[in-house]
Amino acid sequence: MAEAGDAQAGMGRSKDPPDSVRLQAVAARGERLDRFLAARLPQYSRTRLQRWIDLGAVSCDERLLGRATRLAGHESILVEPQPLEADRAFVAEPVEFDVRYQDDQVLVVSKQAGLVVHPGAGNWHGTLMNGLLHRFAKQAMLPRAGIVHRLDKETSGLLVVARTEAARQHLIGQLADRSMSRRYLAVCLGRVAAPTDIDAPIGRDPRNRLRMATSEAGKPARTIVRPLAEGSLEQQPVTLVHCQLHSGRTHQIRVHCAHIGHPLIGDVVYGGPVLAGFGRQALHAYRLAFMSPGTGDGGPFIEPLPDDMRRLLATAGIDAALVEAGLADTDETVR
């Protein structure tokens, strides 16, 4: 990780991705982000830097920034240079996805397993972002086409997309203060006997940059796991669990469940076995609630389990419909 500007010694060195650049916005009060980057990184064209901003490769304290962001003069800005393929990633493409709700400020999207949310290494095209640009052309005016949070490629379920810059900032604020509610259903290996509050920091796995791991040097992360039903797959006990996020770290549920000895079925990255032919992590974002900046409403929105997880549960001897009915009884108004 290269560092430029008047940074404090060692600031961010152990946590920043390799090949990234950290810039200190000293004496840059009121300056636009894209102009600041162009002046500090003259080896890259301003157009290319703007594309990186749009792709979400420029951040401050894990908060993504827009091209026209006005700097306060004290920010520590992380820039992650992207390969040439990234310059052609921000294009409209016909990608299938379902919209569950829309107004002038937000979209609520249901993502199928196998769909990548945002372009990145090895997946520069055919992502949800490309599909948003194709279906809603004005999303091109927003960083990452309005995407403010992600689901892993093989995780299904709901996420919210901003349609205006004001909505984007509003939603980012809700993610930061944890007022946005995100709940998941997952199938874990073993018997989860009782509700478990997992409070374990998460950071990049030092031995494998593609994985995350619990680490004292990581960022705070908390997940509440509650067992819903027990079953069996290939003579191994499994548990359907409800997971509630109180932070939003990469791979959080997958890492935390593995941390307590109950990796997700199909999650081979974190030690979950492939049972009954289920080859992806058994994880579904079933419930999403937030405050829409336009209407003040924001759900909760409920997305039923996808067919592949319903079949997995049936094989395990768990009645998915009965579980979902019980969840609906405890939720607020279901949309």
Catalytically active residues are 152
d(CA 136, CA 119): 17
Length of the chain: 335
One-character DSSP codes across 63-98:
EE--TTPBP-S--EEEE----GGGGGTS-------E
Distance CA 291, CA 294 (A): 9
DSSP string, 284-312: EEEEEE---TTTS----EE-PPPHHHHHH
Strands 98-102 and 283-289: unpaired
Alpha-carbon gap, residue 215 to 180, rounded angstroms: 25
Contacts of 239 (CB under 8 A, 6+ apart): 187, 188, 190, 191, 192, 227, 228, 229, 230, 231, 262
Consecutive H or E run containing 147: none
Angle at 325 between CA 323 and CA 328, to 5 degrees: 110
Report how far residue 112's alpha carbon sits from residue 159's, in angstroms, rounded to the nearest whole number. Answer: 11
- Rounded Cα distance between 160 and 58, Å, is 21
Radius of gyration (Cα) for the chain, nearest Å? Answer: 21
Could you tell me the end-to-end alpha-carbon distance of the chain, in angstroms, rounded to an integer? 46
